[in-house]
Structure 1
Amino acid sequence: MIPPLKPGAVLLQASGPQIETERLILRPWRASDIAPNAEMLSDPGTARFIAADGKPVTTAIAGWRNAAVISGHWALYGFGMFVVEEKASGKYAGRVGPWCPPGWPAFEVGWGIAPEFRGRGYAVEAARASIDWSFDSFEIDEIMHCIESANAPSQAVARSLGARRDREIDLFGKPADAWITTRAAWRQN
């Protein structure tokens, strides 16, 4: 349990941009996002593709660690995956955004939407906003999306974004496909 603060004590405040789309808010992480993120990753079909080890999160500490890694990217690098919040309900709907930890093959924008929010176009809507933000913020000519060949729904999102499958890559011992969104093609859409 986190103890109460003394009067006048100052802690690091979570900060970062907030992006609004028609139905979503992409925002910095909060402690209240840990539990719904862990719940999303407790789903074997979700964990298979976006958990570091491909296994479902089954403990509170594993859920906390995952959220700490994802949200910590902001503290370490000044950017990272946003929480995707559904405007209508205020609920955590997933995560989306730039991701480039050490050893990663390239600057990526990735996405993960909680099972209860799938099938509504949220992954595409959130990824579009995140790609716009990334091209506006970084001097990059392309963005990669690392997608396992068995992840047909994520491939469909990539296609909807106008990305093209470029090549197969090794993602820490697992094969994945590198889908590419170029700045030039993105600006034409």
Structure 2
Amino acid sequence: MSLAGPRIETERLLLRLPEIGDFERFAELQADEEAARHIGGHQPRTAAWRKFLQQPGAWMLQGFGMFSIIDRGSGRWLGQAGPWKPEGWPGNEIGYSLHPDAWHKGYVSEAVPATIDWALANLGWDDFIHCIAPQNTASQRVAQGLGSTLLGPGRLPPPFEDEAVDVWGQTRERWLARRREPQAPC
């Protein structure tokens, strides 16, 4: 079963709502210690299943959530990216996570801007953030490449209240101004 919803196509990617067939690779991502280190830590398959259900639930109840990132050529699930705002979150987040075999291939640079454009056009957000662990330098570089700046330390709601997090972000105005300028990849 799949949920009807928005679909975004980029040069190499299809961004769509999560589907049950995405779970196998999502579970692999969640089981990988390095890949899951900054997104709540690695989890066994049963816990990954509960976490997987968060995004379809967000889409059903909030009208938005992270998109599944699909390779248009192979149909393979690569990760997820997009708007995310759980209860108590420090702001309107654009987040992402990729399966380890999708790292360093430019998928973030292609998927995340498309989801930001979608969120700003459809959700009425005036700004957005990225919650990034202070030691996650790769995600800090992505945030900088997107034009976001470090806004300062943040605080996540329970059960993550003890996790150190820096909040990066920017305004809608800044994003739209940068989109009108030629950009280097993230």
Length-normalised TM-score, structure 2: 0.89
- Contact 2:2–2:19 (Cα < 8 Å) also in 1: no
- Contact 2:2–2:20 (Cα < 8 Å) also in 1: no
SS at match of 2:139: helix
How do 1:7-156 and structure 2 match up within 5 A? 14-51=3-40, 54=41, 56-59=42-45, 61-156=46-141
Partner Cα distance (1:13, 1:113) in 2: 21
The AA in structure 1 aligned to 2:94 is V
Q: Deviations over 1:104-142 (max 9, x none)?
A: 111100000111011011112111000000111122221
- Contact 2:131–2:166 (Cα < 8 Å) also in 1: yes
Q: Deviations over 1:10-38 (max 9, x none)?
A: xx861210001111111011111111101
Partner Cα distance (1:125, 1:99) in 2: 18
Equivalenced residues, count: 174
1:182 partnered with 2:171: yes
Aligned Cα root-mean-square deviation (Å): 1.3
Structure 1 unaligned blocks of 5 or more = 1-11
Q: Deviations over 1:70-89 (max 9, x none)?
A: 22111111110000001121
Structure 2 unaligned blocks of 5 or more = 179-186
Partner Cα distance (2:4, 2:48) in 1: 21
SS at match of 2:47: helix
- Contact 1:35–1:63 (Cα < 8 Å) also in 2: no
Q: Deviations over 1:134-175 (max 9, x none)?
A: 111122221010001111111111111111111101222212
Structure 1 runs (4+) deviating above 2 angstroms are none
Larger-gyration structure (1/2) = 1
Partner Cα distance (1:79, 1:186) in 2: 20
SS at match of 1:25: strand
